[in-house]
Amino acid sequence: MGSDERERGLARSLSSPETVAANWFSAELPRRRAELEAFCIDRRLVTQGRYAEFVSRTGHRTPRISHAEYLRQGFLVHDYDSEVVPYLWRGRRPPAGRGDHPVVLVNAADAEAYCRWRDPAGRLPSEAEWEKAARGSDGRIFPWGDTWDPGRLNSAARGPGMTTPVGQYLGGASPYGMLDAVGNVFPWTSSLLRDGRRVVKGCAWDDDAGLCRPAARHGRPAMSRHILIGFRCAERASDR
């Protein structure tokens, strides 16, 4: 788990000067071995369509955010009209044509509520669980190995500049078969940084290659709603 200087050096070489200058890699944990209890995790990110079933059956709030709320969050501010509005739900229905895309504009509490609704033992994965599922147990840099390949994921290198259907990039599967292990959207985890922010892992559809590694991490306030953040659920194997 984590990264060493060799991996972070590769990450910097694959990143834009702006990403390197912003010191995105400073929050990464040092390379070490971690041991976990057995767990189960979704192979695919939760989709807009799956989340719509949850909303329909429970009356839970739909994924949305106003222009003012979006600007007030103060991070990764994309243009609201051209980039955020396409992800807003119309009434109780998800964006047309994106039912098989990952759901976004949900905060950590929304994600946790969905996981519990789907299964009483359901929850968000911890950072360590997500990272193991994304990279396996041999310390590889990317889900598929140690060599960067932009064709294996949805990132800024070769993506369409938006979310894509979950599981589209079969060549990017992790050793355990997890799809979109990096790219498409950042996943919420249950883990916290020292300042209380939730850890999100990997990269999203508009990120440099250097961030698209399972060891990459940063934090966002748990109440954040963003077009780059989605989730998948997990549970202990003993609860399955």
State mean pLDDT over 201-208.
Answer: 95
Lowest mean pLDDT across 19-23, 78-82, 173-177, 232-236: 19-23
Q: What percent of the chain has pLDDT over 90?
A: 91
pTM of the model: 0.95
What is residue 24's predicted lDDT score, i.e. its pLDDT? 84
Distance, CA of 141 to CA of 144 (rounded, Å): 8
Query: pLDDT confidence of 239, banded at 50, 70, 90?
Result: confident
Rounded-to-integer distance, Cα 90 and Cα 70, Å:
18
Residue range 132-147, pLDDT digits in tens: 999 999 999 999 999 9
The SS3 of residue 152 is helix
Superfamily of segment(s) 5-239? paralog of FGE (formylglycine-generating enzyme) (3.90.1580.10)
Burial class (CB in 10 A: 0-12, 13-18, 19+), 60: middle
Q: Please report, rounded to a whole number, the percentage of residues in the chain having pLDDT higher than 70.
A: 100
- Cβ proximity of 95 and 217 under 8 Å: no
pLDDT tops 80 at residue 240: no
User: What is the band of 80 on the pLDDT scale with cuts at 50, 70, 90?
Assistant: very high
Domain ranges for the chain:
5-239
3-state SS class at 211:
helix
Please write down the long-range contacts of 133-139, taking CB distance under 8 Å and 24 or more positions apart. 133/41, 133/174, 133/176, 133/178, 133/181, 134/174, 134/178, 134/181, 134/182, 134/201, 134/202, 134/214, 135/174, 135/175, 135/181, 135/214, 135/215, 136/174, 136/175, 136/176, 137/175, 138/175, 139/31
* pLDDT category of residue 231 using cuts at 50, 70 and 90: very high
| Residue 223 pLDDT | 97
194: Cβ contacts below 8 Å, ≥ 6 apart: none
76 has a pLDDT exceeding 80 = no
